[in-house]
Amino acid sequence: MIDKTTATDKTTATHTPTTTHTPGPSKPVDERRAALLARFPEWTPRTLDGWLDVCAADYADRPLVITDEVTLSYAQVADLSRTIADALVSLGVRPGDRVGMLLANYPEFLPIKFAIARAGAIAIPFNFLYRTEELGYVLEQSECSVLFTMTGFAGLDYLDMLDTLSPGWEGAPAFAALRQVITLSTDGRERSGALRYADLLDRGAQHAGAASDVAHTPGDIGDMLYTSGSTGSPKGVVVTHDAVLRTGYASALTRAYDDGRRILFSLPCYHMFGYIEGILSAMYVGGAVVLQTSFSAEGYLAGIERHRADDILCVPTMAVAMVESPRRADYDTSSLSAILCGSAPAPTWLWEQRFKVPKRVVFVDADGLPKTPTGKVQKYRLVALVSNLG
């Protein structure tokens, strides 16, 4: 895992994240939207890694990912993504290959995700709560050739799962299309003979520039995102680089982001909620994501206070837990100016409570919004709702 030394030793030492964040008075919704529209008067299709490079040039020293232990700047994430992409290409990853990610909300998620894009491959962020049989199904069904995996998380042992699926995977996996596994130690364990994340960084440094000439375009598939499987077996949905970036921008525009928006969430980055409404949308204003690996009401409240978060992502049960927390008054949540609550209908009384924070705080419940004939949220109607709330 990235630690306080790795965050600097493995990246460009001249780029130190600027972590101080003091939210100022929020401008009116129309002004915030106008600023975003002025910055992007015409849409320029980009690849995910190309967009990261644009942001790193504009916001080099600003934090992009924040945890209680580590902060990585835009420049550091971009540098790490290049190193990882060089390593992947040196391992034989080619454009169109499928690279799986069995990763919770650790800071490594971001550089790995953008590295896969930089290598021209397709990222497959898997549900990290899969059991052995479920993991085997998606690995085979997705034709995943390279897998980044935690060693363990939330009582799950991924090394043991791989032992069951492909004995001897440390040297040469023999399961479906899988040919390489990279391990990230998340519980203090290592596996002898396995390629570790730290080894991958060293390999990338030895093959610097290997990914620099990889051909890929904004219209190429960048992600394969699996459905939950609630109505059958999980299915991989493919989306292009340009499609997810357009959606990220639409989210920032709809929710009228201020410069430097700081979004806290524990919703998994393998899901569109955390990935697009969190990571990609924040990048349009040089903002940051504050990642938590699991949810607790007190953890969210403490994170808002510690990192001065402007915004949080949650589902109604999480919002209810925060409202009902007996320790809510113990935390300073004055930085909070927006809450995106979705994925299920929220109870009426929750809206009436609205955390009992200043009126400027905006609640958005995406599931209660008007829909288009295709079922998509009418985002411009959402802007009007936001304006009316505040």
Task: Give domain status of residue 99, yes or no.
Answer: yes
Q: How is residue 333 written in tokens?
A: 């949540």
Is 374 or 31 the better-scoring residue by pLDDT?
31
Task: Give domain status of residue 311, yes or no.
Answer: no
Hey, what amino acid is at 349?
W
Judge whether 130 and 138 are in contact, CB under 8 Å.
Answer: yes
Helix (H) or strand (E) holding 20: none
Q: 301 pLDDT band (50/70/90 cuts)?
A: very high
Q: How is residue 200 written in tokens?
A: 């991958």
Task: Please give the residue range of the domain that contains residue 110.
Answer: 6-226
Hey, what amino acid is at 336?
L
Prediction pTM value = 0.88
Is 45 or 9 the better-scoring residue by pLDDT?
45
DSSP-assigned states of every residue in 172-194: ---BTTB-EEEEE-SSS---TTS
Task: Give domain status of residue 59, yes or no.
Answer: yes
Task: Give domain status of residue 49, yes or no.
Answer: yes
Is residue 338 classed as helix, strand or coil in its secondary structure?
strand
Q: Residue 184 sits in a domain of what CATH number?
A: 3.40.50.980
Task: Give domain status of residue 362, yes or no.
Answer: no
Q: What is the pLDDT of residues 113-162, one digit of tens each?
A: 999 999 999 999 999 999 999 999 999 999 999 999 999 999 999 999 99
Q: How is residue 29 written in tokens?
A: 């919704």
Phi, psi of 262 (to 5 degrees): -120, 115
Judge whether 174 and 55 are in contact, CB under 8 Å.
Answer: no
Q: How is residue 328 written in tokens?
A: 């809510």
Q: How is residue 368 written in tokens?
A: 């209660």
Please tell me the distance from the alpha carbon of residue 283 to that of residue 262, in angstroms, as a whole number.
10
Please tell me the distance from the alpha carbon of residue 70 to that of residue 7, in angstroms, as a whole number.
7
Please tell me the distance from the alpha carbon of residue 350 to that of residue 84, in angstroms, as a whole number.
44
CA dihedral 94→100→103→108, nearest 10 degrees, is 0
Is 384 or 224 the better-scoring residue by pLDDT?
224
Q: How is residue 315 written in tokens?
A: 């589902």
Please tell me the distance from the alpha carbon of residue 256 to that of residue 224, in angstroms, as a whole number.
28
Q: What is the pLDDT of residues 2-36, one digit of tens each?
A: 654 344 334 333 445 656 677 755 788 889 999 99
Please tell me the distance from the alpha carbon of residue 377 to that of residue 371, in angstroms, as a whole number.
5
Task: Give domain status of residue 203, yes or no.
Answer: yes
pLDDT at 371: 37
Task: Give domain status of residue 148, yes or no.
Answer: yes
CA dihedral 240→243→245→246, nearest 10 degrees, is 170
Instruction: List, in order, residues 6 or more apart from 274 with CB less than 8 Å away.
Output: 105, 265, 267, 268, 313
Q: What is the pLDDT of residues 179-212, one digit of tens each?
A: 999 999 999 999 999 999 999 999 999 999 999 9
Is residue 51 classed as helix, strand or coil in its secondary structure?
helix
Q: What is the pLDDT of residues 230-288, one digit of tens each?
A: 677 888 999 999 999 999 999 999 999 999 999 999 999 999 999 999 999 999 999 99
- Rounded mean pLDDT of the chain? 87
Q: Is the predicted pLDDT of residue 361 greater than 80, yes or no?
A: no
Instruction: List, in order, residues 6 or more apart from 9 with CB less than 8 Å away.
Output: none
Task: Give domain status of residue 307, yes or no.
Answer: no
Choose the most confident range, by mean pLDDT, from 125-134, 316-325, 351-360.
125-134
pLDDT at 351: 64
Please tell me the distance from the alpha carbon of residue 205 to that of residue 358, in angstroms, as a whole number.
49
Helix (H) or strand (E) holding 339: strand 338-341
Total of domains in the chain: 1
Tracing tokens 């949540």 back to the chain, one arrives at: 333
Q: Is the predicted pLDDT of residue 387 greater than 50, yes or no?
A: no
